[in-house]
Amino acid sequence: MKLSPVVLENRFVRLEPFSAGLEGEVRAALDCDLDAWNGMVSAAYGEHFDGWWAAALKAMATGSRIAFAVRRLSDGAVVGTTSLYEIKPEHRRCEVGSTFYRPDARGGPVNPACKRLLMGHAFDAGAVRVEIITDALNAASAAAVRKLGAREEGVLRKHKITWTGRVRDTAQFAVLDEDWPEVRRRLDERLAVLA
């Protein structure tokens, strides 16, 4: 499995790998909805942004993460970020996540369009497993992951510590290579309705 930091695009979004030229747009997109950051492992708004940005670029340099700016094509605005991370070529798996969208980008085509691109890129590169995790307390996020068609595998207790210091349980989901054709079909049907 060889994942490359390339631009991914469909009719709804363009996922642009982080670069210096995107820093200002990503900063502006993430500096909102402060309460939504509480369940995240790291914060990327306000004074937290510079360290978060540097860590993302460092992980990209090592090949363990591909961080993307999410550009909504209907208006050209960067509305958030998402990543392929925990990239493990030797096990042909990765995670989709580190996702944050501005409130006006939630609940429409942006998330399923991003997940379609990210999972497609991973499986096209030879992945056998794509994981998606979320804070077990984040019911909205877990519902969105279920709606994508990922299979719930359980809860990892005391799995991560958020940037606020809360020890969180993590809901674990995955899509396997044999699941992908059906998940892809469902996503494509869902996106066709949203077009």
Helix (H) or strand (E) run with residue 118 in it: helix 110-124
Q: Does 143 fall in a domain?
A: yes
Residue 41 has pLDDT above 90, yes or no: no
Query: What angle separates helix 139-148 from helix 110-124, to the nearest 10 degrees?
Result: 50
Residue 48 included in any domain: yes
The count of domains in the chain is 1
Backbone angles phi, psi at 42, to 5 degrees: -130, 150
Contact 70, 7 (CB under 8 A): no
**CATH number, domain with residue 179:** 3.40.630.30
Q: What is the pTM of this model?
A: 0.93
Domain extent for 151:
8-194
Domain presence at residue 189? yes
pLDDT 10s digits, 136-195 = 998 988 998 998 899 999 999 999 898 889 899 999 999 999 999 999 999 999 999 987
Give the integer Cα–Cα distance in Å for 120 and 195.
19
Express each pLDDT in 72-103 by its tens digit: 999 999 999 999 999 999 999 999 999 999 99
Q: Name the phi and psi angles at 4, rounded to 5.
A: -110, 145
| 1 in any annotated domain | no
Q: What is the mean pLDDT of residues 35-62?
A: 88
